Amino acid sequence: MIVELNPRLKVLRPQGKAMFPYSNSLCIDDDICLMIDAGAGGRAYQDIQPEKVDLLLLSHNHFDHVNGISFFKNARILASEMEAPGYIDPDIYASYAGYELWEELMDSPRQTRFGSISAMPEDVPVSPGFHHIELSGHLHDGEIFDLGKYKLQSVFLPGHSHGHFGFFIEQKGILFSADIDLSPYGPWYGGLFSDIDQLVDSVNRIIELDPAILVTSHRRVFYKGEDDIAGSLKAYLAKAMEREQLIWEALQTPQTRSELLKRDYISHYRQQNEYTVFWTRMMILKHIESMNRRNMITCEGGIYRRA
Ligand SMILES: [Zn+2]
């Protein structure tokens, strides 16, 4: 499905919900034809001619943003330099997920591959897991791509993943914020290099850019005239702060890290499986790291307490 922002600027949406394994793409059909992300599914890309895309920019190296790479046969592909090793090395790719912490967090070895518990729809050409992607170059914060009529700027927005980028078309006030997605459940920061403090800075950077139109990877398009974009971004961050507050409340009595992690009290997943439990624990870990850095809590002899 295409949401036309104007005849040259199109949001490509998957046929169903833009949830994993799908995500929205933004296409700028200019002198240079540019596409952001490759996860909208084969049915969505049927409506344009994917082979005429010259430049494909990847917001970050998560499966739901890169799985349709094979549709763009003639495109140069650019992504963050920080995540570049993960596009060519399966072990580095797996390390980004934090699986080396699995046993420590889950008390048992990882039994099932994520790909084996999630069946793919027929217009997603590959299964979750590592897929070699040859990059033609890297994205840099503030870099401007002159496409002809439009210019697009890379905006480094880390936190969700360590090399997460958004993209800004200043002439139109259109911001593609990728996985700063305004999910009503709040942000996700369950990867090894996810960072809640960086995420807060990134969301604040978007608020400062004050976009007229916000395109996220997983929701509908937001328009400043109709939607309170800044308010929604603040509410989105507030969800993360609610989780921190729950951890703070739990620390009314000192706790071991294991006790803090295993209560799963901050989980927002409706369907629970071993992966959602793992990601929840990773996110609790990220809050503990952040609260430690900000001297809210201390840890002595393996016991966490309020500072
Ligand atoms: Zn992501």
Tell me the per-residue pLDDT of 92-123, one tens digit each, with 9 for 90 and over: 999 999 999 999 999 999 988 877 767 899 99
Ion ligand 1 — residues with CB under 5 Å?
A: 62, 179
Instruction: Express each pLDDT in 159-177 by its tens digit.
Output: 999 999 999 999 999 999 9
Q: Is 182 helix (H, G, I), strand (E, B) or coil?
A: coil
The separation between CA 189 and the C-alpha centre of its own chain, rounded to angstroms, equals: 8
Q: Residue 147 in contact with residue 30, Cβ under 8 Å?
A: yes
Residues counted in the chain: 307
- Has residue 214 been placed in a domain? yes
**Number of domains present in the structure of the chain:** 1
Mean pLDDT of the chain: 94
Position 85: which residue type? P
What is the pLDDT at residue 47?
Answer: 82
From CA 84, how far away is CA 88, in angstroms rounded?
A: 7
- Has residue 254 been placed in a domain? no
Ranking 138-142, 165-169, 188-192, 276-280 by mean pLDDT, the lowest is: 276-280
- Has residue 270 been placed in a domain? no
CA of 62 to the centre of ligand 1 (A): 5
What is the pLDDT at residue 206?
Answer: 98
Residue range(s) defining the domain that contains residue 41: 2-242
CA of 178 to the centre of ligand 1 (A): 8
- Has residue 263 been placed in a domain? no
Task: Please state the rounded mean pLDDT for residues 10-16.
Answer: 94
What is the pLDDT at residue 293?
Answer: 96
CA of 110 to the centre of ligand 1 (A): 21
Ranking 130-134, 240-244, 268-272, 302-306 by mean pLDDT, the lowest is: 268-272
From CA 35, how far away is CA 45, in angstroms rounded?
A: 11
CA of 124 to the centre of ligand 1 (A): 17
Q: Give the residue among 162, 185, 298 at the shortest CA–CA distance from 240.
A: 185
CA of 275 to the centre of ligand 1 (A): 15
Report CA-CA distances (Å) from 132 to 25, 57, 58, 105.
Answer: 20, 16, 14, 29
CA contacts within 13 A on the Cβ side of 205:
22
**Quick one: pLDDT band at residue 264, thresholds 50, 70, 90?**
low
**Quick one: pLDDT band at residue 10, thresholds 50, 70, 90?**
very high
The separation between CA 238 and the C-alpha centre of its own chain, rounded to angstroms, equals: 18
Task: Please state the rounded mean pLDDT for residues 226-243.
Answer: 96
Q: Residue 31 in contact with residue 95, Cβ under 8 Å?
A: no
- Has residue 229 been placed in a domain? yes
CA of 71 to the centre of ligand 1 (A): 20
**Quick one: pLDDT band at residue 61, thresholds 50, 70, 90?**
very high
CA of 60 to the centre of ligand 1 (A): 7
Dump the DSSP string for 226-265. Answer: TS-HHHHHHHHHHHHHHHHHHHHHHTTS-EEHHHHHHT-T
- Has residue 301 been placed in a domain? no
CA of 92 to the centre of ligand 1 (A): 16
Task: Please state the rounded mean pLDDT for residues 141-158.
Answer: 98
CA of 161 to the centre of ligand 1 (A): 7
- Has residue 261 been placed in a domain? no
CA of 271 to the centre of ligand 1 (A): 18
Q: Is 103 helix (H, G, I), strand (E, B) or coil?
A: helix
- Torsion over CA: 195, 196, 199, 204 (sign): negative
Q: Which residue has the tokens 């911001």?
A: 175
Taking 80 as the threshold, does the pLDDT of residue 268 lie above it? no
Task: Please state the rounded mean pLDDT for residues 118-135.
Answer: 92
92: CATH:
3.60.15.10
What is the pLDDT at residue 111?
Answer: 84
CA of 20 to the centre of ligand 1 (A): 9
CA of 202 to the centre of ligand 1 (A): 14
Q: Residue 123 in contact with residue 41, Cβ under 8 Å?
A: yes
CA of 190 to the centre of ligand 1 (A): 10
The token duo for 121 is 């729809």
Q: Residue 49 in contact with residue 33, Cβ under 8 Å?
A: no
Q: Residue 160 in contact with residue 59, Cβ under 8 Å?
A: no
From CA 83, how far away is CA 163, in angstroms rounded?
A: 6
Taking 80 as the threshold, does the pLDDT of residue 56 lie above it? yes
Percentage of residues in the chain having pLDDT higher than 90: 89
Burial of 107 (0-12, 13-18, 19+ CB in 10 A): exposed
**Quick one: pLDDT band at residue 16, thresholds 50, 70, 90?**
confident
- Has residue 152 been placed in a domain? yes
Report CA-CA distances (Å) from 222 to 3, 216, 256.
Answer: 12, 8, 42
From CA 143, how far away is CA 155, in angstroms rounded?
A: 8
